[in-house]
Amino acid sequence: MGDNLEDIEQAENRLANKIRKEKIEIAILEKDNQEKQLRTLKFYLYIQIAIIIAALLLMYKRYPEVSAALTPQRILRYGTYETDAKTDECISNIWKLMGNKKLKLHCPVSGKEYIIDGDEIYCPDASVHGFKKIYSSKGQIPRVE
């Protein structure tokens, strides 16, 4: 009887060991598989990125107008009105004053000094340009109204 019990215990142990080993093997296989899938996914991703970059480069080279359109231009002012050269100069002065409020600049048309009121910079006499207001508020792009 005792021998029989030991046999059964040994058989159980062997079985348990076998199961443990198989579990480990399965885990290793699963990991291998995942890594393979990941590698494949990455491979396709890199190919796609390369194709996109190549297409963009081609577009820039072939079509200068596309690259010009995609290059951001600095907006000099807000407002829908047409402005003349002198008014543009006045707006440019407001830009300069936004950089340094201590500058003593004069409006090129009215000849008066700019009005600085806290965060706001005004053309001293926008009516000489034919506008109601030319100003920048709180460091924002100058506005023509």
Task: Summarize as ranges the residues that interact with Zn ion (CB under 5 A).
Answer: 90, 107, 123
Instruction: In angstroms, give the least distance from the CB of 88 to Zn ion.
Output: 10
Q: Residue 76 carries which DSSP code?
A: -
Q: Residue 117 carries which DSSP code?
A: E
Q: Given the complex with Zn ion, which of 123 and 144 has the nearer CB atom?
A: 123
Instruction: In angstroms, give the least distance from the CB of 96 to Zn ion.
Output: 13
Instruction: In angstroms, give the least distance from the CB of 74 to Zn ion.
Output: 20
Q: Given the complex with Zn ion, which of 72 and 99 has the nearer CB atom?
A: 99
Instruction: In angstroms, give the least distance from the CB of 132 to Zn ion.
Output: 12
Query: CA 69, 70, 75, 76: dihedral to nearest 10 degrees?
Result: -60
Given CA atoms 13, 14, 19, 25 in this order, what sign does their dihedral have? positive
Q: What are phi and psi of 2, to 5 degrees?
A: -60, -45
Tallying the residues shown for the chain, one arrives at 145
Residues 6+ apart with CB under 8 A from 110: 123, 124, 125, 128
Q: Given the complex with Zn ion, which of 130 and 139 has the nearer CB atom?
A: 130
Q: Given the complex with Zn ion, which of 52 and 115 has the nearer CB atom?
A: 115
